Amino acid sequence: STRAQLFNHNTVMMLAVSAAAWCVLRALQSPLRRWWVAAGVAAGLAMLSKYQSVVPLAGIVVALMLAGELASRRTRGGIVLAAAVAALVFAPHLAWMLQHDLTTLRYAAQEGPPLSWAERAFSVVSFLAQQVRLLFPSLLFALLLWLLPGLRKQPGSDADDAGAPRRRAWFIGLIVFPLVVTLLTCPAFGLKLQNHWGYQCLQFVALWLAWRLRGVLQRAPRTIVMLALLVQALSMAVAAKPSWTRETQPGRRVDGQYPARQLAAAVQADWHAVTECPLRVVVGPSFEAGMVSVYAPRPPKVLEGGDFRKSPWVQPHELQRDGAVYVATEPSQLPSHAVRVGSLPVGAAAGG
């Protein structure tokens, strides 16, 4: 399931947000309006990939404000131009949303009952711990560089860097602001923080580390290369740890160990054992049904949980006309009108 976990809408969002930030920086250095237009296109694409991209995009505006760039009339006009272009890019999707009763917003709002205050505190701590785990190789590398004699940053070195305040403003806007806003959604609205929300907060951390460690490469290039190789080797060793050495709780799904290809192949085999028609619709939980779609030769549509409101791309008449495969983690969750029960127990993939 690695492909679906790594290459999804979060990947597109990170690319688009990075492009928007880069175009804004170029626009500040160029008299040409085309960079503001490009920033607007990138921002619109980011919004199309994921609504949550509005948080890091707002962080770009915060960075401009903290850096004093908004004092320029030209910059303010550029932001308005970029916002107009982004709205134009997003307009077709907005029209589709209005035609479908804002189904995407209603889907995003279906997060269940608000968490208790104790659960909110645990969610924040768990979220931060997960982000530290993901950033651990980079943080370890930076720590090793800082601990080595002669490689520490010299006191007062920022005083000679006229661009330091401006860079600091950008790092606050691109990293601190999205992280704070994301964390506040939990206590403010009682939402459980999802680990993948960290992508929108921490995608620029590597730039911050590179800035903090600037100048070190010239002083000890061989040492740095050796440390980088060591950290990379340790990271690969941990990632390649055999699955049988990892303890899992019964009933808990481990995405990295999920037999997605096996499930998709079993579904295809069971479907074609009954009919020669192509499989066009898979019904079930978003993850399991999504894995079948991702690894199918011709990806079928996913009807999440059998709810047409959650999957407006599937119409009831398509289900009647083409049939479907129902994927469930428990046999009791299969519909009573199922023609045949498949050959692969999906629940086994969850460790239960």
The two three-digit tokens of residue 15, written as one number: 């690319």
Report the C-alpha gap between 70 and 332 in whole angstroms: 59
Q: What is the torsional sign of CA 201, 203, 209, 214?
A: negative
* One domain for residues 160 and 219: yes
* One domain for residues 94 and 130: no
Report the C-alpha gap between 39 and 86 in whole angstroms: 8
The pLDDT assigned to 35 comes to 96
Q: Which residue has the higher pLDDT, 282 or 206?
A: 282
What are the residues whose beta carbons fall under 8 Å from the beta carbon of 127, sequence distance 6 or more? 182, 183, 186, 193, 195, 197, 198
* One domain for residues 303 and 345: yes
Q: Give the chain's mean pLDDT.
A: 82
The pLDDT assigned to 11 comes to 86
Report the C-alpha gap between 82 and 35 in whole angstroms: 9
Look at residue 350 and tell me whether its pLDDT is greater than 50.
no
* One domain for residues 263 and 188: no
Of 52, 84, 109, which one is at a domain's C-terminal end?
109
DSSP H or E segment with residue 232? helix 221-239
Q: Which of 265, 266, 268 is nearest to 280 (CA)?
A: 268
* One domain for residues 225 and 127: yes
Give how many domains the chain has, as a whole number.
3
Look at residue 58 and tell me if it is in a domain.
yes
How many helices (H) and strands (E) would you count in the chain? Answer: 16, 3
Q: Which residue has the higher pLDDT, 247 or 196?
A: 196
* Mean pLDDT lowest among 87-91, 113-117, 183-187, 211-215: 211-215
Residues spanned by the domain of 227: 117-240
The pLDDT assigned to 23 comes to 97
Q: Which residue has the higher pLDDT, 342 or 106?
A: 106
The two three-digit tokens of residue 191, written as one number: 């939402």
* One domain for residues 18 and 95: yes
Q: What percent of the chain has pLDDT over 70?
A: 80
The pLDDT assigned to 244 comes to 45
* One domain for residues 280 and 212: no
The pLDDT assigned to 47 comes to 95
The pLDDT assigned to 242 comes to 52
Of 211, 240, 269, which one is at a domain's C-terminal end?
240
Look at residue 248 and tell me if it is in a domain.
no
Report the C-alpha gap between 90 and 68 in whole angstroms: 29
State pLDDT tens for residues 171-205: 999 999 999 999 999 999 888 888 888 888 888 98
- Around Cβ 24, how many Cβ atoms within 10 Å? 27
CA distances from 254 to 120, 257, 260, 294 (A): 23, 5, 11, 18
The pLDDT assigned to 347 comes to 43
The pLDDT assigned to 298 comes to 87
Q: Rounded to two decimals, what is the model's pTM? A: 0.77
* One domain for residues 155 and 181: yes
* Mean pLDDT lowest among 88-102, 111-125, 171-185: 111-125
208 pLDDT band (50/70/90 cuts)? confident
Report the C-alpha gap between 77 and 69 in whole angstroms: 11
* One domain for residues 103 and 129: no
Look at residue 245 and tell me if it is in a domain.
no
What are the residues whose beta carbons fall under 8 Å from the beta carbon of 243, sequence distance 6 or more? 254, 256, 257
Arithmetic mean of pLDDT, 35-59:
95
* One domain for residues 129 and 231: yes
* Mean pLDDT lowest among 199-208, 267-276, 328-337: 328-337
Arithmetic mean of pLDDT, 36-64:
95
